[in-house]
Amino acid sequence: MSPRLVCALERFKECSKSFRQQRPWQKCCCRKHQKRLDYLLGRSAMQRRKAKGRTQGASNAARPHSTRFSRIPAGKSASLPNVLGALARVRPDFFLRLAGAIQ
């Protein structure tokens, strides 16, 4: 069984509850007290544990976006003929598949 610990807020004379430790990093009896401890110790809410042994990429990194169509140059409108012309230049196989599907 996991050992019983006393809440870390005991040293600030705010809590003296004992609890069963479920995870090795648990120091407080509840989430509210963990947030209070972080505040009292001056820890920033933006700090996170380092991803040791796992991917080091940021968890909030921007997702890759679609680059299928390039942006419309200045002075050109996004009219249907312009879009279809750009599509014919970039992906001619689209129109071949479209023509093959028509009976």
What confidence tens digit (pLDDT) does each residue in 37-63 have? Answer: 888 887 765 565 655 555 656 666 666
- C-alpha to C-alpha distance for 23 and 2, rounded to whole angstroms: 9
Q: In the structure encoding, which two tokens stand for residue 40, read together? A: 């009292």
Residue numbers in the chain where pLDDT is lower than 70: 1-2, 44-63, 65-77
Q: Does the model's pTM come out above 0.85? A: no
Give 4's strand partners. 20
